[in-house]
Amino acid sequence: MITINEHYLKLQASYLFSDIAKRVDTYQENNPDKDIIRLGIGDVTRALPEACIKAMQAGVAEMAEDSSFRGYGPEQGYDFLREAIAKHDFIDQGAEVSADEIFVSDGAKCDTGNIQELFTTDIKVALPDPVYPVYLDTNVMAGRTGSFADGRYQGITYLDCVKENNFVPDLPKEPVDLIYLCFPNNPTGTTATKDELKTWVDYAHRNKALILFDAAYEAFIRNPDLPKSIFEIEGAREVAIEFRSFSKNAGFTGTRCAYTVVPKECVAYDSKGNKQHIHPLWNRRHCTKFNGVSYPIQKAAAAAYSPEGKKQIRELTDYYLRNAHHIKEAITALGFSSVGGDDSPYIWIDGQGRDSWEFFDLLLDKTGVVCTPGAGFGKCGQGYIRLSAFNSYENVVQAMDRIKTELG
């Protein structure tokens, strides 16, 4: 008899985006003339940088000739891309990472979801609330939680990100083994200072824990004092793995390319308490289960590090940041308190006592603007909404004008 992994049955159906879609459809039916502005989505809206497109086209042209055709590539990624990543994203920024510590993949979603396979099911997992849901659901699937009760899974240590800690989690009260951190954060848009990350790195050393650091939004950091990588923090190489993506910097959400950094010093422990290096184990998993990102896409990703590519990515992220600043200014002028939006494409807005969905409905009904209700990201998201800067500047200005008129 084929039996099911019952941990999957514990998963809460994610009604968030389908509920949003339903409410938006109803609104459109009732207001056929009203044009809806979507500031709820975490997907980019602008075209790929020209440098990446040209490199991708050149890669496709190579595949069209027998003499330059390439079949299976190295699972970890081509050297030209791994070397460009190590140099531009780390060494030039003062962080020690070598090309062979980089594993190119088709997404930070897959990598942040898959990495937990390397660890036993009896470890204690800590993750932020509100949270990017992949971290949580993949641990539920693996059986690291009990059932869902009162908005939370039993057995998980939730790190509350609330006004009182400025939405940067405090160290847990009980010892934990695996810690998910994400800065700049989705959904709150908050960033962490070097001192704050150092606190976590020190905690991981003291507790023989591991930090999974999701830096998918690092390209939005403009404040030169903020760390872009956890490897800017002393001691992180032994206790941290970092996830990066070309999705939000170069607009690869539909193109797919990302990478994970596993330093050679990074360890976990076997049942006898002996140190085991994670790098060879992740390498083994990656080579067994993944067959590499396509050559033209890796060419396109490498072009992100050319002088033109860097300039175009800067322009792209500046464009979204201008949107974020406009949203933030307008919301602040209306008297709402918010975080994010400075070094991040997301703005996390306090609904001033309103329930998340009530705030969502108010915005939609009065202005035709779609946001994401914070409650969809966890218990601590209740009472908040997330606005995203991923739209055209014109739409953002129009959305904010409507909000000022209707809620001002």
Applying CB under 6 A, the span of 108-116, 289-297, 301-309, 395-403 interacting with ligand PLP comes to 108-116
As measured in angstroms, the least distance from the Cβ of 209 to ligand PLP is: 20
Count Cβ atoms below 10 Å from residue 407 Cβ, excluding itself.
15
Question: Residue 338: is it exposed, middle or buried by C-beta count within 10 angstroms (0-12/13-18/19+)?
Answer: buried
Can you read off the two tokens belonging to residue 176?
């934990």
Distance between CA atoms of residues 240 and 83, nearest Å: 20
* Cα–Cα nearest to 50, from 210, 251, 218: 251
**CB-wise, 59 or 107, nearer to ligand PLP?**
107
Find out whether 393 and 379 touch, Cβ atoms under 8 Å.
Answer: no
Which residues inside 32-71 make contact with ligand PLP, applying CB under 6 A? 42
| Closer Cβ to ligand PLP, 113 or 155, answer by number | 113
Residues 166 to 225 in contact with ligand PLP, rule: CB under 6 A: 182, 186, 214, 216
Contact characters 231-250, ligand PLP, x per CB under 6 A? --------------x-x---
Among 37, 44, 108, 304, indicate the residue that binds ligand PLP (CB under 6 A). 108
Which of 109, 144, 237, 386 is in the footprint of ligand PLP by CB under 6 A? 109
Q: Does 356 bind ligand PLP (CB under 6 A)?
A: no
- State which amino acid sits at residue 63: M
**Which of these segments, 19-27, 104-112, 192-200, 326-334, binds ligand PLP (CB under 6 A)?**
104-112
Tokens of 147: 């059932």
Size of the site for ligand PLP (CB under 6 A): 14
Question: With binding defined as CB under 6 A, does residue 294 bind ligand PLP?
Answer: no
Spell out the residues 6+ positions from residue 4 whose beta carbon is closer than 8 angstroms to its own: none
Task: Pick from 90, 119, 132, 231 the residue near ligand PLP by CB under 6 A.
Answer: 132
DSSP code per residue over 248-312: TTS-GGGT--EEEE--TT-EEE-TTS-EEEHHHHHHHHHHHH-----HHHHHHHHHTTSHHHHHH
Closest to ligand PLP by CB, 367 vs 391, is 391
Nearer to ligand PLP, 182 or 364 (CB): 182
Short-list 159, 171, 210, 163, CA closest to 190 = 163
Applying CB under 6 A, the span of 106-114, 220-228, 369-377, 394-402 interacting with ligand PLP comes to 106-114
Phi, psi of 373 (to 5 degrees): -70, 130
User: Shortest distance, CB of residue 180 to ligand PLP, whole angstroms?
Assistant: 10
Contact set with ligand PLP (CB under 6 A): 42, 107-109, 112, 132, 182, 186, 214, 216, 245, 247, 253, 258
